[in-house]
Structure 1
């Protein structure tokens, strides 16, 4: 049996090294390495860009088990067989005693491969954090039914479920069923330096969108809402949109078609706190979320925000917060107009940074997750 002081060999497996999942894994690895554990990452090699490569470069020297990237498909298909075999060989060579899967694809790989390692008499704890993932699907659709059936079947290969929001935990119970295995809610956490305010720079735009360029995150809603704000206020507005994704050309065309092309600037991914200085009010227009880091980071940095009441976002603001809107253009545009016309009054609606610090700490997150790891290893002994 591993003692509480015995270092663990931890492998984090996930598909796409972008967005909140990648941020979550980075935070965990930093805390786990600081605690003396040997940590490695296995993820897709076909997603991410220069920004993500710089983040990987900053981590390489600290990860005793290394960073291993191999092609992984987003959707289920014939290529999964070859991708799965490559990934399994990598993980088997790393000899982990903890495999933590993140997101739908990473969760399947981690749990299946952890189970295969047990066949080879390795003692491995298999943990899964959905991070939204397949839970975003509608359970009434054929696709949703397939994914939720798969999730139920995968329960037999899972030792512990870790949810990042109460919303995610409730969605799992509703769509997949009551988990027959241990599970816990562990919020994403922020580091102390992230609570230092980031003021807008002298040339800051009225509004800032920062995130992946895909419809699930609502860039199209944001652009249409900018036009709505102009109609409501009679003022020309400016915006910065920071992020990357396959749908980026579509959003550029959308902004141009609405006559906003010169007032909406598109920028590649950059560190969140660097981006925060580019806008006065941050807008999170997502159609679906789990527990988005960008909301936590922006509020900790003292930025006023308009956000949709989806996923775990109301757990951050409080369910009755007047800063929350539905993912609807007119609702979004109305709230953005209010933030533009009365910035001081709107800023007063944000939750306090003291409250956020007490509820969303990186150290607390890492400690609770390590507790789950060790508990499952004791069970597997």
Structure 2
């Protein structure tokens, strides 16, 4: 496979990710909101299926590198498969908490916002713009929060061993899954199934919930991305890239080249867009969601003053939180946990707390015409 083919392959994988989100109508923020407001758990249970499958697929790839000889070695810079295993900085829980607030106020996380851009929802363009603004502001203030207390990175496979670490993570998923089933049954005396076998006139047919299909598809596609690129799915890095590009485009009096964030991430920020894998997959996500929208148009959400303000505030808070936490619901939660990194679990805990605050603020201040 030639190196010139990789941009198209990454666009394709990103397109399949966006098409999966749009076609199956899956969203992280709506799943968390349904859990907190209604104790409906189908979305979060599908998330656990997604994480469990991703951990099962990521673990042998990261541990034994069976496909490393097939990775591109030119400007993509990949020499082995590397997961997202990050230090346990104080910036992770703070950023995750802020991100959780923002994703509920703005009615969508980063992947959800990009999905709705592909659906041509007017407010999603405002949310995306201010995610970029927030991410760029966080990059500007990099020196301040980067110096916060930090513990060394912890990965299940290195701390406990590959197989024990895998078993521990699967046990965590199982325990959480059983807890969600109990919660929904306590509230509704009925559990919305993710897998069902309804009877028809001819045969018993296995039926999978759209959320479960979305989760399984995203896990497989993230693994494919890990295989061909050497690193898993990420989104938040694209926001600072676009923010600095906008500064250049409009000749704003901001000397971003000498930010500490820029110096530490110089390689990615100086790449042209078709050489930046995060930008490629992110653009692909929007195009994939757009393709589904063209085939199955989505009703437009009416633009209101409160909706506009929510998009501005939620987007800005999300952008700040995503960059501070070294990832959003994709790079930190999904790819972090799939990589076996403890920081992904830390992100999840504090993002859930932030979601709780965000749900309250949304209901209190932004559910108005």
Fold conserved between structures, TM > 0.5: no
Instruction: Report TM bin, short chain.
Output: under 0.3
What is the TM-score of this pair, normalised by structure 2? Answer: 0.24
What is the TM-score of this pair, normalised by structure 1? Answer: 0.23
Where is the strand percentage greater, Structure 1 or Structure 2?
Answer: 1
Larger of the two Rg values belongs to structure: 1
